Structure 1
Amino acid sequence: MAFSFGFFNSKNLDRTYTAENFCDYLGSIICNGIQDNYSQCFKLTANKLKLTIGSGKAWIDGHYFLSDTPYTYDLSSYVNESLGRYLSVGICCNTGENYRKIEFEILAGTPATSPSIPRFKDTETKTYLTLCAIRIDAGATEIKVTDYRENTTYCGYVRCILGKCKVTDMMSQLAEITEQMKDYNTTIAQLTGKIDELTLKVDEVTGDVVSIGKCGENINFTLFSDGKLILKGTGAMFDYDNSSNASPFKDNPDIKSVIVSEGITSIGEYAFEYCNNLKTAVLPTTLKAIKRNSFMPHIDEYIVHQNLYGLIEITIPAGVNEIARNAFSGTSIKSVTIPSSVSVVGEMAFSECQKLETVRYSGKIISDRMFVRCIKLKNFTITKSTTEIFGGCFNYCESLTLITYEGTISEWNSITKHTNWDGHAVGTIETPLTKIQCLDGYMEYVNGEWREVHD
């Protein structure tokens, strides 16, 4: 019987360790396969008789293989004019004393009327991950690829911690937990709404009423002397404008807080425009839309860089799917979370919010000039729910140097980005934004372009 152990510091060279020792150790906790959170995961692309293997990282028996750029093979030499054949393409780890390397390898099958797929066979010194099988018909001008990357028999993805789960599985589980938290938050919001309803009933009995009226087909409002405005009913508020059809609340300095009851589905256009003393708004879980200029305070040249007026805090319910143009422009909010339910966003929805410091963004799009001139904005997180970023959205954001993205570099690159999305366009005061932090590295703005830096 023999024992082995490690790793310990050497004293007078009494301990030595080889690469094989480390590979044995890594192989015991990292299963063979493609690392699924690195770059393109060896994405396979066929173009006529050419096969391109995207960048990626793989682990084989504790050894790692990294390809940081796409690699293309011309397979025209394998075409047989009379018979079809298969090829297998894989990654070979060769530990033979005269090799000691990992590389792509092609195994060609025999041309035949009914060809069979050749299979890589592991040996004492060779271990394979098969990426794909390729069919080349007789006289072919293009290839047909069967992707094996998901197939655990031939390849599969790395499963860490003794093969328990893939890296992205853990991320998915975190996402599930996040969704559960959203459900809990919704429940809390509903309970809070019920408390607010009870408060309303008390106010209606004991409060000093200043005015009452209608602001929707089925919505009534009551304004109390303490500045509390209560909206009760169902459905959408009326839409107003800033001229002949003005909101009954427009430019009312007596309104200090708004409570919108459950059952109401929209905040009307220009509803609370120029309500400069309105500091808080409680919105219901039934809300679907926050319309144009709905909470925008009056901004004159004297206060444009002070943000003395308007909302100081807001919670956007998880069911909201639309935030229209200038909805919160010029308000005094310091932080905001945009839920994943938001799919329609108007221009400049949060422009000129010059006290805004922190944003967590899960909406589908970041709209045109959405955060323009938010001069104190410095903490900005984008989740994987976002698919499109429009131009000018970060123009004149003087404090924004970093954006945190909760996905990989590859996922970040898949987001549609319009011209000058980052505020670096010629002719504007450039934003200091120079880094997008991702899960597997970061994007860095250098010499007028964004570059990938992988961890």
Structure 2
Amino acid sequence: MAFSYGFFNAKNLDRVYTAEDFTSYLSSLICNGILDTYGDNFSVTTSGNLSVVIGTGKAWIGGHYFINDMAYTLDLRQYVDESLSRYVIIGISCDVSDSVRACKLEVKSGTAATSPSVPVFENTDTKTYLTLASVRLNGGITSISQSNIKDYRSDEKKCGYVKCILGKCRVSEMLLKMEQIDTLLAAYNKQISDLQYTVDLLQTKVDDLTGDIAATGQCGGDIYYVLYSNGKLLLRGTGAMYDYNSDNHSPFRDNETIKTLVVSSGITHLGEDAFMDTVNLTEVSLPDSLTSIADSAFMQSDDRIGYVHGLTNIVIPDKVSTLGGSAFWGTAITSITIPASVTAIGKYLCRDCLNLTEAHINGTLLGAYMFTGCTNLKTLTVSAKVKSIGECAFTYCSSLESISFYGTTSQWDSITKGSNWDGLSGMDVSLSGLTKIQCTDGHFEYDSTSKTWNEVND
């Protein structure tokens, strides 16, 4: 027969497929080898006597899989000769013959000799091998040392590792490359931010010489500000800004003349309510010395539906560890990246940021109510370093259909998640769009009937 096709639903049993149909299809996608993201990758180690331990692992051979989910001790005493040495090899076989139809662990013994040679598994039309290791058993040996074991797992001719669909790289190498690209992008973005910061500082020096000063004052123990008539606000000094509140207003609150903000190097803390309701403050340059942004620092409190103002973008420096609650509430930011340095995030960090379309979490957590009301958020990437997601983090994120998680399904499972973290278990779930969590080795799909997340292996 010259042509074949599949797979289709059967009607009156007119379409019948066998397991081999599926394994043939899988073998066109998954190369033979060990899956290097599962367990111990079938490591072969000495147990201190005449046994070796085969570690946990998963292998693919011709579309069939073989899993070892518990360390297995293999006794090699029967292969020891009293006077001569020999090699044994250890491997995984897949036998598709009608009488067997199984994958298993196998040992093949070489001939005992003064100068023994290493035996070889021979593939046949129905049986294929992956060779894990060889073990030299010297004459009269009483225990096996690790130096007697030769690892063949990286040898593409004998074993090898499962490669991606393009056959270019191992799975872990692909993930590593993704992380390297992310790191490079972060470095480039930091360089751009640093250059922009330098330009902003140079411009402030020009303003010092040529600009008209509209206001000056103190906003920290060792921090002073200059507001120029062109709308640029410069903060100079060291240490922390003052924290403000409803009884003690910031000198910048409700100031409609401020358009840009440059914070000089040496300042470590932006105070609470510091730039609250500065509706025309759209651009901010922050220094590497900054370690914290306090509650409501840039919050826009206007509660008119569909109205945002203030910041249009924010680059959070890499040393910032604390982001206060409501810090960016109601601002016009379109994207945000939480750096790996952040270890504390207050409630409502980006609430009602209606222009926000993408967010990247490189730190270890997502705060409670972090993106509540971000109705246009569509892209969210989450680092494998994340350990916790706060309650109601994605309520009313109607455009967010999926999350890209740079870790495995088991890593996602281990993340501590607050109540209604996904915005899907509350009273009103009609405005929550989240249905999929994409991981590196599979994904989770949301079942609206059972209100559960179910794992799907890719």
Give 1:124 deviation, angstroms.
5.1
Partner of 2:329: 329
Q: Which amino acid aligns with 1:397?
A: C
Partner deviation per Cα, 1:60-105 (whole Å, 9 max, x = no partner): 4xx23336x9978999xx9xxxxxxxxx997431255632x33345
Q: Which amino acid aligns with 1:255?
A: I
Aligned-partner Cα distance in 2 for 1:372–1:149:
52
SS at match of 1:413: helix
Partner deviation per Cα, 1:13-39 (whole Å, 9 max, x = no partner): xxxxxx9xx99xx79x987532234x7
Partner of 1:230: 234
Kept in 1, the 8 Å contact 2:395–2:423? The answer is: yes
Aligned-partner Cα distance in 2 for 1:102–1:221:
76
Kept in 2, the 8 Å contact 1:31–1:162? The answer is: no
Summarize the Cα distance change of 1:330–1:160 in structure 2 as closer, same or farther, 3 Å threshold.
closer
Give 1:374 deviation, angstroms.
1.3
Give 1:272 deviation, angstroms.
0.8
Q: Are 2:441 and 1:444 aligned? A: no
Partner of 2:192: 188
SS at match of 1:400: coil
RMSD of equivalent CA atoms: 4.1
Aligned-partner Cα distance in 1 for 2:317–2:33:
42
Any gaps of 5 or more consecutive residues in structure 1?
Answer: 1-8, 12-18, 45-52, 79-87, 108-119, 132-147
Partner of 1:425: 425
Partner of 2:83: none
Kept in 1, the 8 Å contact 2:215–2:226? The answer is: yes
Partner of 1:65: 64
Pairwise mapping of residues 109-258 of structure 1 onto structure 2 (< 5 A)? Answer: 122=121, 127=129, 157-158=161-162, 166-243=170-247, 245-258=248-261
Give 1:373 deviation, angstroms.
1.3
Kept in 1, the 8 Å contact 2:35–2:41? The answer is: no
Any gaps of 5 or more consecutive residues in structure 2?
Answer: 4-19, 44-54, 76-88, 108-118, 134-149
Q: Please point out which of 247, 261, 265 is paired with 2:264.
A: 261
Pairwise mapping of residues 373-452 of structure 1 onto structure 2 (< 5 A)? Answer: 373-430=373-430, 431-446=432-447, 447-452=450-455
Summarize the Cα distance change of 1:65–1:41 in structure 2 as closer, same or farther, 3 Å threshold.
farther
SS at match of 1:424: coil
SS at match of 1:200: helix
TM-score relative to the length of structure 1: 0.72
Give 1:436 deviation, angstroms.
1.4
Kept in 2, the 8 Å contact 1:213–1:221? The answer is: yes
Summarize the Cα distance change of 1:308–1:149 in structure 2 as closer, same or farther, 3 Å threshold.
farther
Q: Which amino acid aligns with 1:443?
A: F
Partner deviation per Cα, 1:338-390 (whole Å, 9 max, x = no partner): 22222211111111212222212212100111111112222222222322111
Aligned-partner Cα distance in 1 for 2:123–2:402:
49
Give the total of aligned pairs: 386
Pairwise mapping of residues 219-368 of structure 1 onto structure 2 (< 5 A)? Answer: 219-243=223-247, 245-300=248-303, 303=304, 305-368=305-368
Kept in 2, the 8 Å contact 1:89–1:104? The answer is: no
Kept in 2, the 8 Å contact 1:212–1:223? The answer is: yes
Kept in 2, the 8 Å contact 1:186–1:285? The answer is: no
TM-score relative to the length of structure 2: 0.72
Give 1:200 deviation, angstroms.
0.3
Give 1:410 deviation, angstroms.
3.0
Kept in 2, the 8 Å contact 1:366–1:393? The answer is: yes
Give 1:168 deviation, angstroms.
0.8
Summarize the Cα distance change of 1:72–1:362 in structure 2 as closer, same or farther, 3 Å threshold.
closer
Partner of 2:457: 454
Q: Which amino acid aligns with 1:228?
A: K
Kept in 2, the 8 Å contact 1:264–1:287? The answer is: yes
Summarize the Cα distance change of 1:162–1:313 in structure 2 as closer, same or farther, 3 Å threshold.
closer
Greater CA drift, 261-270 or 402-411: 402-411
Q: Which amino acid aligns with 2:442?
A: G
Kept in 2, the 8 Å contact 1:149–1:157? The answer is: no
Kept in 2, the 8 Å contact 1:90–1:129? The answer is: yes
Summarize the Cα distance change of 1:306–1:201 in structure 2 as closer, same or farther, 3 Å threshold.
same
